[in-house]
Structure 1
Amino acid sequence: MAYVDRSGDMNDSKALEIKTKSIEQTLVPLVTQITTLVNHKEKQRVSEKTCQAIERVGQAVRLAVSKFVSVGEALGKENTEIQDELHEACSEAQVAGNNIARLTDTNSWLSVTMQNSTDKNSMIKAARGLLSAVTKVLLLADRVVIKQIIVAEQKVKKSLNKLETVRNFTEFVQLFSQFGKEMVELAHLTGDRQNDLKDERIRAQMAAARGVLEKSTMMLLTACKTSIRHPDCVSAQDNSAGVFQMMRKAFQMLDEVLTDSSSMTVLVKPKNIHNLLHTIRDVIETSKITQAESNTQDKLVTTLSLVVDATQDFTDSAYTQHEQRERILKLLGKAKLDVNHLVQVGKRIEQGNWERYEDELDTSVLKATKTIDDVKKQLQMTALSQAEEIFRGNDHEGLTNKLKEAATMGQIDGLDSLAEKLMQYSEQLQEACKLMRHVSSKPPLAISLENAENNLIKLSPQLVTAFTTLAINPTSKIAKENVDVFNNAWHAQLKEINTIMKEITDTCTGKGNTKHVYLSLPRPGKHGTTMKSSRPVKLDAEEQARIAKLGLELKLMTSELDVETDKWEDAENDILKRAKNMSSMAYSMYLFTRGEGPLKTTQDLFKQAEYFAEEGNKLFRVFKDFSGLIPERGLLPDELVHHLQSLPSLCQQLHYTTKSPSLGKIQTFAKVNGSIQETKNLLACISHMLPLCNTLAVKYNIRTPHSTLPLWKHGSPFMDSRSNGDDSDSAASALSSKSDGSLLRNIKTIASIDAFDRI
């Protein structure tokens, strides 16, 4: 698919809509500063000292805009399709920045009088022009980011098409290796894009698409290998074809998100029962104010009709208990009577008898509201009980074990009856998903569950096909491997559905106080007071932003450390191994600040930081032994010793921070903040020492003993998320790996950190 520009005219207000968090956060410091300038222009008298301070702010704005413009112009030269638009927007920003500097000149401020409203209007005009121009530049840069993702996606699609036609095993391995690298690149770019999107619904759509690609990559590997190994097996060919189809569907969903067409897909879908009941309840309550006028009457009748139609998913389901079905129908009948009575009262009031029917209107509103609430509770109870029953009353692991046993023994006839049971279980689960989506009060959860259900619909027959291939070729190792991969994917899909259903259950029962999103979506950390008690506390937006900024700094330091470790020739050097291990630990802590990775709670973070401190102490001893092998003193050895002396205290400070008590949200956040900060300080020290050791090791031909002690990486429950396997295996977990393609990186951090934050 070619890159489609859907941004529209940059002079259109809709085209200036901000859809990403990075652009929004970039504009915040600029808005703060120019608001300060405008507010000061309102003052009748300003001291000379204040004038000078304001002048410095104005000059800082001008310099920041100048830097911003230079980067924008450079970006335009690299992307000729938007060069003219960027040049125009940058020129507007430059003019506005200069105007602000002129208006904040000391002479301008001292000349302000009570009648000088023109000066204030000029400042407002310049501020608006600057914000508009800067926003245009950022949105144009955002189009470049989208283009980069689409280009990366096109590479993957091209490789996917080649994989579909290859029949030579050696050629397949080479192509899949290339495909894996391209998938990793795409995962990085889409991961940052997903986390940057503001709309939770669109973010859930993107997460679903990335989730399918993540799961399908390993299935693609084994399914294709099986089809190549058994070219005459129809089920093997169907198996691989099914995976290709799943991946193309995921790419289609990804395209919709990238080109903004998915917003229509999300919003046009029929409303669920929860939304319809919420709507009719609002209309009923506003009847008091509108006196149930004709317009309100029409809304009541229309919305109730939609509610009745939607409840058919509950009453028509073969898995709804008879008693529950009867109660739903009875409550719907009562709702029709109550709403109809309210409509009739409204018609009487329209005839001019308001005072006579005022009390009856209030009574009718109360009765109708209570009935709608009863309908809602009954539908929730029906959906929740059906979801609970399916997971409690079915042994899906035992069923797939029997299927595998029958397939391994080549029992095709026995396989058919077991496969039928699996498909029946899948259908029952699909029904439960449909009802749970209806009662979900959070659109992202409903979207996640619908996509998980769609994946299950595709996976179930695929799993049966994999079992069939093994039954036809019971001695084939690759067919067994293929069954294991599909079986694991199927069970993982069930687990994901179960998790989402539990979250919806929590929201229905009032327990869903913490936000939890699925697949690759960010998961905000849960706060715990002690190791014995881990009551979750929700982070507010400011706390999340502060931690995210610290995490970004930590991630940059791990990247710098990785660059230094790559320079070492002795791969088995104990210093190198432990440094890499600590980089992995720090990276998992960075993922926590994004709501990703193996660390799910703050207690996980504190435990990882504790391991990090202990590993730092071990590295200190290795560094100390190394320094003892240096034959002479000098500038570099002295610098190494200087850093070496500070290492134990840094480890001790981090260890002390992780062990300090934290009671309540404020203390816990402070502990999280301190742990990440101390980790960053310790990592900075190691980053300084590592190149010194490498230089000295080469200069004096020093080799440290190769340690056989297990590193924390192998003993810690918190494993590093970065893949260490070959290309084909790493591609399967590509969408969980680290992401480097953010908007701010692509436009060289214009404004957010380098410029406007310094104003």
Structure 2
Amino acid sequence: MAKSLKGRTTSESIPPLSPGEGLKPLDIRTKTIELTLLPIFQQITYLVNKNADSPSHQNHSSQNGTVAEVSSAVENAIKEFVRAGERVAEEYPLIRQQIIDACLQARESSEQILAKVHVASCKELISPIRHLLATMYKVLVLADSVIVQEIIQAKEKVYDKLDYLSKLTNFTDFLNNFSNFGAQMAEFGKLTGERQMDMKKELDAAKTACLRGFLEKSTVIYLTSCKICLRHPSTPLGRDIRTSVVGLMKKGLTEIIDIICYSACANTDDQDKILNKALNAYTDALEMCAILSGDTTSVNKAKECFSVVDEYVHEFTDSAYTPHQHRELIILTCQKCNEELEKLAALSTSSSVSPDATEIAIENCQVAVQDLRRQLIQHTLTSAAELFGSNVDTGLLAALKSSAQEGETDRVDNISSQIRDHTDQIQEISKQLQHVAPTDSFYIRVKYTANYLLSLTELLLSSAEVYSSHGVSKAAAEGYSTMADSWVVLIGELAAAAEELQESLYYRP
């Protein structure tokens, strides 16, 4: 049977579900739901195709065995599906009736399909097939909602425990309760980790992975920030650090829930507003120009696409951290692209132009944009290699720690200013890495890491200020060390992302 179904994963005989025919499209967001529905859909598709291939809707003797086998497999699969759905219904009373009703409808639809598959036309089978898939989907989504609710409840427990811990004033009470908080965070991490693995969309999985990683880092930072507050209750800055960490953690928890619940709030990233995608759109527009022989409409579309490219290129050339030589090369290459495009535009409005001239003009545009892409990537990777290879951050942290230990507040302020400048440069290079990101997951990884680094920078500098005021305090020293270690780790993650991009593009600056 497996050989018979190979290559028959879709069928032109069964058009996709559409809202206009009484059923909503199946918005499949988890691998579990997809893997449950797909085999049954494949088997039903096979039966319908055999029906369509057979004149007078009768099976030839050579097909009888396989068709009967597939029909039996479909029937057994639906029965097992219904039994599983009913078990879930018994376990969760709140959705019991909804699941039972959907299971009943699924059973009726499958019986209708199997009864008609040998005698009905393909068109007559479309409605019951759609209804079967829709009812099965409903059962799966209802069962999935139970998992989502478990994650939400786990998040609420973490939320409540964070608020409770932040109100404690006794260090022993805090330590006794923190172990319970750690267990709750571990449970939330386990549930969200399983959910991440089941996510069908690469973008959702990438966001969840980043947020889970930051929550894990924040848990350690939160512990040390609470120690500072409890050991030095008269220090307002210590309370501010703890409040900021709690805010970061709650924000991360909320964002994960938004992703899992498919909230509109989870789709606010600008992964489509980057240079790489603008370059791809322009390249596609040039391909269309080649297909349409450079007509006015296709060339105008290419000009629109290039205007977006030009806008993003300015983010590179306007950056204070772009070396003069790099800036000049990028500007010249971009101007070359514009010049070649203007030549193509002139040909598109000419009444007498040879096809060869248009073809050459399009090829020149394509070569120019390839050069521009190469130049921008080369600049980004070279700048990233120089920045992350300089070890400036290590030197700054060593100087900051030494100054804080000695209580040299003026020097701490001076080094803090240098660290902010260094962080600004990292942010700028990170934005350029996002612009040349080859995938959405790479874009998310760099963006989220850079944003977390920015938040952590202020926590680091605040902890250094507390350390400079309490130089002999073990809690203050530990707080600073934890912040510094986390800061270095994040910079290392950005450096690793740049190296991976370089390797994936087979480019060495």
TM-score by length of 2: 0.87
Cα distance change of structure 1 residues 357 and 194 upon mapping to structure 2, 3 Å threshold: same
Q: Which amino acid aligns with 2:143?
A: A
Q: Is the 8 A contact 1:10 1:136 kept in 2?
A: no
Q: For the residues of structure 1 that align with 2:353 and 2:489, how far apart are their CA atoms? A: 63
Shift of 1:146: 1.6
Q: Which amino acid aligns with 2:369?
A: I
Within-5 A mapping of 1:125-140: 126-140=128-142
User: Hey, what's the Cα distance between the residues in 2 that align with 1:435 and 1:32?
Assistant: 44
Q: Deviations over 1:18-46 (max 9, x none)?
A: 11112112223323433443344444544
- What residue is the counterpart of 1:13 in the other structure? 24
Q: Which moved more, 1:174-183 or 1:212-221?
A: 174-183
Q: Pick from 339, 357, 369: which aligns with 1:372?
A: 369
Equivalent positions of 1:110-125 (< 5 A) are: 117-118=119-120
| Superimposed CA distance per residue, residues 255-281 of structure 1 (whole angstroms, 9 cap, x where no aligned partner) | 321222358635655521111111112
**SS of structure 2 residue aligned to 1:198:** coil
Contact 2:293 2:359 in 1 (8 A): no
Tell me which protein shows more helix as a share of its residues: 2
Residues 1:91 and 2:90 are matched in the alignment: no
* 2:23–2:134 Cα contact (<8 Å) kept: no
Which position in structure 2 is the counterpart of 1:70?
A: 83
**Aligned residue type for 1:90:** C
Q: Which residue of 2 aligns with 1:24?
A: 34
Deviations 1:259-311 (A, max 9, x none): 22358635655521111111112212211333444432432232222112111
Deviation of 1:140 after TM superposition, in Å, equals 2.2
Give the match for residue 569 of structure 1: none
Secondary structure of 1:356's match? coil
SS in 1 for 2:441: helix
The residue number in structure 2 matching 1:603 is none
Q: 1:9 to 1:154 in 2, by over 3 A?
A: farther
3-state secondary structure, aligned to 2:450: helix
Deviation at 1:377, TM superposition (A): 1.1
Three-state SS of the structure 2 residue aligned to 1:332 is helix
Q: 165, 169, 177: which is aligned to 1:175?
A: 177
Show the counterpart of 2:236. Answer: 234
Q: How far is 1:219 from its partner?
A: 0.5
Aligned-partner Cα distance in 2 for 1:332–1:264? 35
Instruction: Give the superposed CA RMSD.
Output: 2.8
Report what 2:11 is aligned to: none
Whether 1:158 aligns to 2:155 is: no
* Paired amino acid for 2:292: T
Residue in structure 2 matched with residue 283 of structure 1 by the alignment: 285
**Cα deviations by residue, 1:536-580 (Å, 9 ceiling, x for unpaired):** xxxxxxxxxxxxxxxxxxxxxxxxxxxxxxxxxxxxxxxxxxxxx
User: What's the counterpart of residue 15 of structure 2?
Assistant: none
1:334 counterpart letter in structure 2 = K
Runs of 5+ consecutive residues of structure 1 not aligned to the other structure: 1-7, 105-111, 512-759
Q: Does 2:466 correspond to 1:466? A: no
In percent, how many aligned pairs have the same letter? Answer: 30
Q: Structure 2: how far apart are the matches of 1:475 and 1:12?
A: 69
Partner of 1:437 in structure 2?
Answer: 434
What is the Cα deviation at residue 430 of structure 1? 1.1
> What corresponds to 1:558 in structure 2?
none
Residue 330 (structure 1) shift: 1.4
**Change beyond 3 A, Cα 1:35–1:156:** same
Partner of 1:751: none
- The aligned residue for residue 260 of structure 1 is 262
Q: For residues 574-723 of structure 1, what are the structure 2 equivalents within 5 Å?
A: none
The offset of 1:66, in angstroms, is: 2.5
Deviation at 1:187, TM superposition (A): 0.8
Structure 2 match to 1:206: 208
Task: Tell me the alpha carbon deviations over residues 67-124 of structure 1, each in whole angstroms, 9 at most, x when there is no partner.
Answer: 32233234335445544442332112111333355468xxxxxxx6xxxx52766666
For residue 459 of structure 1, report the CA deviation from its aligned partner.
1.0
**Mapped pair 1:414 → 2:411:** yes
Q: Structure 1, residues 507-529: CA drift from partner, whole Å, max 9, x if none? A: 33369xxxxxxxxxxxxxxxxxx
Alignment of 1:283-362 (within 5 A): 283-348=285-350, 353=351, 356-362=353-359
Name the SS of the counterpart of 2:241 in structure 1: helix
Structure with bigger RCO (C-alpha 8 Å, 6+ apart): 1
1:226, CA displacement in angstroms?
A: 0.9
Could you tell me which runs of 5 or more consecutive residues in structure 2 were left unpaired when the two chains were aligned. 1-18
Q: Which amino acid aligns with 1:422?
A: I
Q: Classify 1:56/1:273 alpha carbon distance in 2 versus 1 (closer, same or farther; 3 Å).
A: closer
Q: Which amino acid aligns with 1:225?
A: K
SS of residue matched to 2:234:
coil
SS at match of 2:120: helix
Conservation of the 8 A alpha-carbon contact between 1:407 and 1:470: yes
Other-structure match for 1:640:
none
Q: Does 1:400 align with 2:397?
A: yes
For 1:560-579, list aligned pairs within 5 A: none
Query: CA deviation digits over 1:359-406, x for unaligned, max 9?
Result: 322122112111111111111111111100001223422332232222
Return the letter of the residue paired with 2:386: E
Task: State the AA in 2 paired with 1:447.
Answer: I
AA of the residue aligned to 1:455: Y
Q: CA deviation at 1:194?
A: 0.7
Match of 1:446 among 440, 443, 446: 443
**d(CA) in 1 for partners of 2:374 and 2:67?**
59
Partner of 1:495: 492
Q: Measure, in 2, the Cα distance between the counterparts of 1:455 and 1:173.
A: 27
TM-score (norm 1): 0.60
